[in-house]
A = this chain, B = another copy of it.
Amino acid sequence: MESTNSDSDTKPDKQDVPKRRGMVSQRDVARKAGVSQSTVSRVFSHGDYLTAEARETVLQAAEELGYRPNAIARSLVRGTTQMIGLVVTPFFNPYYSHVIRLFTRALQDRGYWTMLLNVPDQLSAEETLPMALRYRLDGLIFTSASLSSRLVNECLHSATPVILFNRYVLDDDVDSVFCDNLEGGSMVADMLLAGGHERFAYVAGEQDTSTNMDREQGFATRLHERGRELEFRESGDDTYGAGCAAARRLLRSDKPPDAIFCANDLMACGALDVARREFGVVIPDDLSIVGFDDIPMASWSAYSLTTVRQPVEEMVACTIELLTDAASKGPGKAAVMRSIPPRLVMRTSARIGTD
């Protein structure tokens, strides 16, 4: 059964294209079943308007022939691929692997497939996304990376609905779903205040995204409203290492903070490790540390991190709903911004009020 595929030896060096052809098609099934190809098609698409008998014959012929529908052909004629592009940049963040998992699952449950796009930076986004759009994706989900206006236009041009997950932009008209980060920041401030803290620090993530800014603003504003101020501010690039570095700078101070709120759990873990191991700080007696996201490590006993949990499942469901609605409604209406409230998860890395 070894390949004898050059039975005519004309141009033997012509590159052998993989022979996906010759797979059985609806025509073959039709021939075998003694019906028209349209009928076969009907059996495998809506399935309406068919005698049970016709369906049976076709199904049986298909079975015997080993027929497999070709989704690419269907996509071409239907103008919809059932594929959704998912762009996620901070692959290193466990929060995002969770997001990826939830999206692929939710999407599959609804009959969609996930094209996962790796777009580490702005430049590669500009290059890669237009290529991906050639696949006539039914939608594009952006979990990060800045969506330039040029890219937004590219999507509009190809009639591909876009949606921002976990961030929003105010200038462009693009739908978004995110957790209420302002509220999340406020909640942390309130809790820390109740715990009797006095010197507050915030460790920001690198990017100037709505997410990062809202967490900080929610935190600072609430402190201010309650007569306190944010005394320390550091920032990093959202990694564990950045959290370590920020903590080092913070704790070297003469009168260091007694409460650190980090823009995400990854940085909080770094800060906690440095505080404990390099400065001998006792958590939470000497210092409270709070994160955001509730990644799995937050609940590991080495951390037991008090944090703000994002309602990821809800956010994911909402995103998909908006996306598929957008596809059927077409463009036009103003950007939808859906904000979902987060929830404080109390563990033991922060002192709490005793009342």
Contact = CB atoms under 8 A, between A and B. Distances in A.
Interface in A147-192: 157-159
A279 B98 CA distance: 31
Contacts of A2: 332
Interface string A128-154: 101011111010000000000000000
A127 B182 CA distance: 42
A101 interface: yes
Contacts of A134: 68-71
B21 A79 contact: yes
A118 to B, nearest CB: 4
A20 interface: yes
Nearest to A161: B18
Nearest to A333: B2
B297 A330 contact: no
Nearest to A326: B18
A159 B76 contact: no
Contacts of A16: 328, 330
A264 interface: no
B105 A118 contact: yes
Given A23-B159, A301-B273, A301-B274, A328 B70 contact: no
A117 interface: yes
A227 to B, nearest CB: 36
A36 interface: no
Contacts of A97: 91-92, 94, 96-97, 100
6 contacts: A71-B135, A100-B116, A101-B118, A104-B117, A113-B135, A302-B303
Contacts of A116: 86, 100, 104, 114-116
Given A3-B330, A104-B116, A76 B68 contact: no
A49 interface: no
A29 to B, nearest CB: 15
Contact of A240 (B3, B76, B132, B296): B296
A81 interface: yes
Interface string A6-37: 00000000011111110100000000000000
Query: Most B CB atoms within 10 A — which of A96, A108, A117, A270?
Result: A108
A18 B327 contact: yes
A108 B297 CA distance: 30
A101 B108 contact: no
A157 B68 contact: yes
Contacts of A105: 118, 120
Contact of A273 (B86, B270, B277, B300): B300
Interface in A44-80: 66, 68-73, 75-76, 78-80
Given A76-B76, A240-B296, 4 more contacts: A70-B136, A86-B116, A114-B116, A244-B301
